[in-house]
Each structure stands twice: as structure tokens, then as C-alpha cells.
Structure 1
Amino acid sequence: MPTIDPNLILEDDHVLLRPLQQSDVENLLYISETQPDTWHYSLVRAAGRANLEHYIGLALAARAQGTEFPFVVIDKTSGKYAGSTRFYDINFAFKTLQLGYTWYAEEFRGTKLNKRCKFLLLQYAFETLGMERVEFRADAQNARSIAAMKSIGCTVDGILRSNMPTAEGGRRDSIVLSILKEEWFNGAKANLQKKL
């Protein structure tokens, strides 16, 4: 059964993803303190130092359990820490995982940074880990995230109605999207590569 190298680094000429560390609180604090809307659709908010410390602590605990693998994202062109993303709900027996918990500083949203990250992550998931399915989820109201997922080649699977709470205390519908291994090799990879 495959495993994820604890020191895994994914990179191209423009972006580097390395394992998230507790010390990354300092690297990501500028986003946390000045761009609190970043986590508007997230159940776990990371605005402010204490919340960011808690957010990273939860991610590292999940990595220690083998269910998640969080990354910090660095824009190599500017040298800036751009945000974070991760593999989660990793199930090697079923050959599935989810890709998400993705957030970036405002200056990197709408750029090619996300597509570059997703290309590296999907390539690793399908071509190194041998996954059969990579799933994505978002709040069904989060139009920006849904558009980003569709732009990298995801297919909409459906809506999970009232499937999780919101930070405000209500419930949200979640949209589920995915890319299958055969889709990756039969066009999704090439199509995404053209957009880089």
C-alpha cells in the first residue's frame, strides 16, 4: 500500500508546496490578520493568531493520524507564502482522497497559482499514489471555489443537502465534484496543463 512521504515537496518553476509546520503560523499570519474573509465558507476559521495556531494544530494532528496531509504554498516568483491546501479523507484501501482546505492570500486569488498547485497535487495523487478518484467539496453557495474546481476539470457529482454545520450556527449544502483516474489520463491532465 502506498504512503505519502512525510517530507514530500511538490514544485514547478512557479510554486512550491511543502509539508505544513507549526512554525508556519508566522509565515501565514499576514493573511490571517488582514484578510479574515478568506475563511468565510470554512467551518474552522483561521483569522487572528490564536485561530491560525488552532487551525494548523488540527491539520498537524490529522497528519499524524494519517488521514490528512496539509501543505503550505509558496509563490516562487515573489518568494511569498501564498496560503495552504491539503489532501484529506485519505483512504488508500479505496484509492480515494479529497483535495481541499485550500485558501490563498488575496493577491494570489484568480491567478494561475491555484491551477499550478492543483496540477501538482492531482499528478501526485493519480500518478504516484495510484488513486482512482480525487474528490472536491465546497459550500454550494461558494461560487468562486466552484468555478475554480470546474476550471481544473472537475465534474459535478451532486449536492449533499444540509450535510454539515456552518461557523454561524446554521447548516450548509455541500457540492461534490471529482476527477477520476481515467479522466485524468484521458484529457483532464492535458487540458489543465494548457492553462498553466
Structure 2
Amino acid sequence: MITTPQLSNQTILEDDFVLLRPLLASDVENLLEISFNEPETWQYSLVRANGEQNLIHYIQLALKARENNTEFPFIVFDKKSGKYAGSTRFYDINLGFKTLQLGYTWYGKAFRGTGLNKHCKFLLLQFAFETLGVERVEFRADASNLRSIAAMKSIGCQVEGVMRSHMPTLGSAVRRDSIILSILKNEWFDGVKEQLKNKL
């Protein structure tokens, strides 16, 4: 487990609409319906969670990364419907440099476009900047994943550039370009926080 007292098995982020808690091995059951019925959710991911075995493997990798202190995965619970909506995480955590990335975010179809993502991002960014004290939160996406890029821009992310031929894509000889976006601590306090809060 990550040793900072702010990130532990007891770390829960929530508001009136959403709750994020640490991902558990037993959460396979909570995410299985999306895994079976919506395999396209992982179209842009190198690690797929479609189907029970892939989902088990996905969660095992996430939990191993948490043990290695490099990632902290959450499961997302939608309070309005009373259902589990998906998962997200902090990764590439470097508290010495006061940086981390926010990603591996996916939700079932029923939860997209509902405002759930903005509530999650507000809680995660608030925690990163105001509790963990990081100076920079980075986001990455496949440069062709326009839905994801639009979502990141809508919460206040600034585009920094594109890393060309950055990584492979699953089952294809084509390599992906990755777009890099970020929010800085001063940007969060100077307007991003209030703008995002007003969209909730």
C-alpha cells in the first residue's frame, strides 16, 4: 500500500452524487455486468477488462500496482442509481516530485453524460491538490479518442502536446499518438476549481 496516511484502505471520496473507494479484488462482481455487456468500453486501452477473466486480470494488475506504491485505483459508485459505475485511479504517483497522473477512467454507458465524471474529477482533483499537495496532475489519452479529450478539456485541462508513436495498440501493428494534458496547482486555485464546481 502507498504509505502516505492520506492514501490508505480508508480513503473514501464522496459527495451527494458519487462515492469513490479503494478498489478490491471482490469488486469483480460489482463490475461484471459492464464487463460482459459493454466490451467497447476498453477500445483504446492496452489492458482490457471485457469478460470475467480479463476483468479479474485488470483488477489484479491494479492492486499489484497499488502494493508497489505507483498507483491507487478506485471503484466508482453512483448514488443516484445505487449502482457501481466503473473505475478510475491515480497512477505514476511521485509524491517526491509532487506529481501524479489521473486516468484509467471508464464508466458504463448508463453513466456517461450524466455529470458523474465531473463529480469524480472534482473530488479527485481536490484531493490531489488540497490533501496530497501535488503541484501537477497529468492526463493522457489516445489522440484519436475525441470523447475522452473533450471530457478532459471540459474540466479545465490544458493541452500540452502530443507524443508521436508513443505506445502500441492492442492487437494492431499501428502505434498510437498520445495527447498530454494537465492542470497545475495554481490553475486549480485560480479558477479551475470554481469553474468545475459550477458545472456540477
TM-score normalized by structure 1? 0.98
Contact 1:2 1:92 in 2 (8 A): no
CA RMSD after TM alignment: 1.0
Q: Within 5 A, what are the aligned runs for 1:86-125?
A: 86-125=89-128
The answer for the alignment partner of 1:178 in structure 2 is: 182
The answer for the alignment partner of 1:144 in structure 2 is: 147
TM-score normalized by structure 2? 0.96
CA–CA separation in structure 2 for the residues paired with 1:45 and 1:146: 20
CA–CA separation in structure 1 for the residues paired with 2:105 and 2:171: 20
Q: Within 5 A, what are the aligned runs for 1:23-172?
A: 23-169=26-172, 170-172=174-176
Alignment identity in percent? 71
CA displacement, residues 61-100 of structure 1 (integer Å, 9 cap, x when unaligned): 0000110000000001111000000000000111000000
Q: CA deviation at 1:33?
A: 0.1
Residue identity in the other structure for 2:185: K
CA displacement, residues 107-140 of structure 1 (integer Å, 9 cap, x when unaligned): 1111100000000000000000000000000000
Residue identity in the other structure for 1:165: P
CA–CA separation in structure 2 for the residues paired with 1:123 and 1:151: 16
After TM superposition, which residue ranges in structure 1, 4 or more long, deviate above 3 angstroms? none
3-state SS of paired residue (2:171): coil
Structure 2 gap ranges (5+): none
Q: CA deviation at 1:102?
A: 0.2
CA–CA separation in structure 2 for the residues paired with 1:107 and 1:2: 35
Residue identity in the other structure for 1:83: G
CA–CA separation in structure 2 for the residues paired with 1:6 and 1:14: 21
Residue identity in the other structure for 1:185: F
Structure 1 gap ranges (5+): none
Q: CA deviation at 1:2?
A: 4.5
Give the aligned length.
Answer: 196
